[in-house]
Amino acid sequence: MQRPKPPRVFVTRQLPGEALARLGAFTTLRVWEQPLPPPREVLLAEAREADGLITLLTDRVDEPLLAEAPHLRVVSNVAVGYDNIDVAACTARRVAVGNTPGVLTETTADFAFALLLGLARRVVEADAYVRAGRWKTWDPSLLLGVDVHGATLGLVGLGAIGAAVARRARGFGMRVLYVNRRAKPELESELGLERVDKATLMAESDFVSLHVALCDETRHWLGREELATMKPGALLVNTARGPVVDQAALEEALASGHLGGAALDVTDPEPLSADSLLSKLPNVLLAPHIASASHSTRGRMASMAVDNLLAALEGRKPPHCVNPELFP
Ligand code: GLV
């Protein structure tokens, strides 16, 4: 009797850690080895043959791709966010979608706070100043920043990452406001948070940090109007998704001096061009979408993505499934 063929899986990039070696034992594995994402035609060609895909947020999985992928049973994203995937289209075609929540919460919150501190206290500018040989003396007016302790932090979104940032802010003696679809009374009493409306958050926060998923409701959530209502000199931190902010409006608010600065791990588009206005403004701190990038967290994300994929290939509900209704 012929043995059943192992399922065929395409992985859109090499992943850190041992997870892919584990996957190789159960599947016919193809891995895109280049540093840049596979071009669309490569992704389509691979999807045509694949039972499963492991994707990154740079890979678009949409109806045209699904329409050409008759064997596809699972798309496992190595990210907590999945705005690169048309989940409704996947569900309609009974393709399971997995993501990697939880493991990256604390690592991402660490980085959001690193950006907040770095922007407030001008850490990158200070480093460049010393390296350029400009440090001649102790100067009472040199590289003055703003205090973090005692300031007001406005959190947009109080999911797991927002709450982890709130815990850090509490350690810094900050007042913490939040907006969120649902009230979180337990977190309010545990961490002393105040739920406010958008206008109050904008008017009272010295720092605004974004922690919402990208969807129709949150696209350009921070637009020209909202930016105008932010406290003069306030600082923005974005570790969520670039399109949550209207970037042209943000550039204006930064260039005009209304906003004190922005620290952005995510931009719209990504990658951000070195010629963009944001890349040239001195009050902007930039990072290339690395908030979850610690050795251990990226290894755990890869491992979770493999677990999600293998479960779906075996007909089980992935441990972290975005469309669990496929597994009643
Ligand atoms: C990264 O942005 C993620 O969604 O995990």
Pocket test for ligand 1, best of 59, 80, 111 (most atoms within 8 A of CB): 80
DSSP string, 57-88: TTS-B-HHHHHT-TT--EEEESSS--TTB-HH
The residue type found at 77 is N
Tens of pLDDT, residue by residue over 125-152, are 999 999 999 999 999 999 999 999 999 9
Query: Are 15 and 84 part of one and the same domain?
Result: yes
Q: What is the pLDDT of residue 321?
A: 98
Residue 3 lies inside a defined structural domain of this protein: no
Between the CA of 239 and the centroid of ligand 1 the distance, in Å, is 9
Cβ of 7 below 6 Å from ligand 1: no
213/162 Cα distance (integer angstroms): 11
Cβ of 254 below 6 Å from ligand 1: no
Residue numbers in the chain where pLDDT is lower than 50? none
Catalytic residue list contains 270 = yes
Q: Comparing C-alpha atoms, which of 320, 328, 281, 276 is closest to residue 101?
A: 320
Atom of ligand 1 nearest to the CA of 266: 2
Query: Are 114 and 188 part of one and the same domain?
Result: yes
In the chain, the number of structural domains is: 2
Q: Comparing C-alpha atoms, which of 28, 6, 12 is closest to residue 65?
A: 12
Query: Are 177 and 240 part of one and the same domain?
Result: yes
21/287 Cα distance (integer angstroms): 30
Atom of ligand 1 nearest to the CA of 241: 2
Residue 13 lies inside a defined structural domain of this protein: yes
Residue 41 lies inside a defined structural domain of this protein: yes
Cβ of 79 below 6 Å from ligand 1: yes
Residue 240 lies inside a defined structural domain of this protein: yes
CA-closest residue to ligand 1 atom 3 = 79
Catalytic one of 13, 73, 122, 289: 289
Query: Are 64 and 169 part of one and the same domain?
Result: no
Residue 226 lies inside a defined structural domain of this protein: yes
pTM score, whole prediction: 0.96
Inter-CA distances, 167 with 153, 164, 193, 229, Å: 12, 5, 10, 26
SS3 (DSSP) at 323: coil
Residue 65 lies inside a defined structural domain of this protein: yes
Query: Are 271 and 129 part of one and the same domain?
Result: yes
Atom of ligand 1 nearest to the CA of 104: 5
Cβ of 201 below 6 Å from ligand 1: no
Cβ of 238 below 6 Å from ligand 1: no
Query: Are 123 and 254 part of one and the same domain?
Result: yes
Between the CA of 80 and the centroid of ligand 1 the distance, in Å, is 5
Q: What is the pLDDT of residue 275?
A: 97
Catalytic one of 188, 204, 252, 270: 270
Residue 51 lies inside a defined structural domain of this protein: yes
**Which domain range does residue 32 map to?**
8-103+295-326
Q: Which helix (H) or strand (E) holds 264?
A: strand 261-264
CATH number, domain of 256, equals 3.40.50.720
Query: Are 235 and 319 part of one and the same domain?
Result: no
Query: Are 275 and 192 part of one and the same domain?
Result: yes
Query: Are 82 and 141 part of one and the same domain?
Result: no
Query: Are 20 and 147 part of one and the same domain?
Result: no
Q: Comparing C-alpha atoms, which of 302, 312, 304, 301 is closest to residue 52?
A: 312
Q: What is the pLDDT of residue 2?
A: 66
Q: What is the pLDDT of residue 1?
A: 57
104/300 Cα distance (integer angstroms): 8
Atom of ligand 1 nearest to the CA of 240: 2
Inter-CA distances, 111 with 29, 117, 142, 165, 321, Å: 33, 10, 26, 9, 26
Residues whose CB is less than 8 angstroms from the CB of residue 5 and which lie 6 or more positions away in sequence, other chains included:
28
Query: Are 173 and 270 part of one and the same domain?
Result: yes
Between the CA of 83 and the centroid of ligand 1 the distance, in Å, is 10
Compute the half-sphere exposure of residue 284: CA atoms within 13 Å on the CB side of its CA: 23
Between the CA of 107 and the centroid of ligand 1 the distance, in Å, is 11
Q: Comparing C-alpha atoms, which of 178, 165, 169, 241 is closest to residue 204?
A: 178
Tens of pLDDT, residue by residue over 88-135, are 999 999 999 999 999 999 999 999 999 999 999 999 999 999 999 999
Between the CA of 141 and the centroid of ligand 1 the distance, in Å, is 39
Q: What is the pLDDT of residue 3?
A: 64
Between the CA of 77 and the centroid of ligand 1 the distance, in Å, is 9
Q: What is the pLDDT of residue 4?
A: 76
Query: Are 22 and 148 part of one and the same domain?
Result: no
Residue 1 lies inside a defined structural domain of this protein: no
Do the beta carbons of residue 328 and residue 44 sit within 8 Å? no
SS3 (DSSP) at 244: helix
125/239 Cα distance (integer angstroms): 20
Q: What is the pLDDT of residue 6?
A: 95
Atom of ligand 1 nearest to the CA of 301: 5
